[in-house]
Amino acid sequence: MTLEFSPEARQRAETIIRRYPPQYKKAAVIPLLHLAQEEWGYISAEAMAYVATLIEAPPVKVAEVATFYPMFNKEPIGKYEIQVCHTLPCALTGCGRIVKHLCEKLNIQVGQTTPDRRFTLKKVECLAACDRGPVMLVNKTLYTNLTLEQVDDILNGLE
């Protein structure tokens, strides 16, 4: 096993683990997987094994969790992860146009990453911002009331 957190991440991991009673360290698995994904961009088998050591659980226990939740990427994705909400309220306010525009602009299908590995395009379920649809997440930032022009501006504004 070669993977290990940076000292800063290691410190954050310890803070996280301390939130749970010592006999229930396993509860820290989701926050630690988020941390791992921030560190390495995705959750590899090695990352799962490393997280398992932190919470003193068998690696399979971590794998069980990591493979269930949609937010954990099992393989590397682009620098910018674009997630467009496609649930009913956003569909009613035109998320379809946004997705189509992004597909054309980036020249990829939903679920794919651009060859330069800058963008990954995904659809997600409701982001709880339904009054401001259509909405999309770009990495951690939520953009609301989207128009096609705004989508262009947002993408152009990314380095």
Q: Which of residues 71-90 bind ligand FES (CB under 6 A)?
A: 85, 87, 89-90
Residues 6+ apart with CB under 8 A from 35: 5, 9, 12, 13, 16
Partner from ligand FES, another protein, none binding residue 135, C-beta < 5-8 Å depending on class: ligand FES
3-state secondary structure of 119: strand
Query: Would you tell me how many other CB atoms lie within 10 Å of the CB of residue 17?
Result: 17
Among 48, 133, 136, 138, binds ligand FES (CB under 6 A): 133
Stretch in the footprint of ligand FES (CB under 6 A) among 7-15, 20-28, 112-120, 122-130: 122-130
Among 70, 111, 115, 157, binds another protein (CB under 8 A): 70
Query: Would you tell me how many other CB atoms lie within 10 Å of the CB of residue 5?
Result: 20
User: For residues 116 and 77, what is the distance between their CA atoms, to the nearest angstrom?
Assistant: 11
Eight-class DSSP state of 113: B
- How many residues sit close enough to ligand FES to count as binding (CB under 6 A)? 11
Q: Binding residues for another protein, per CB under 8 A?
A: 19, 21, 24, 26-31, 33-34, 55, 57, 61, 64-65, 68-72, 86-89, 91-93, 124-133, 137, 140
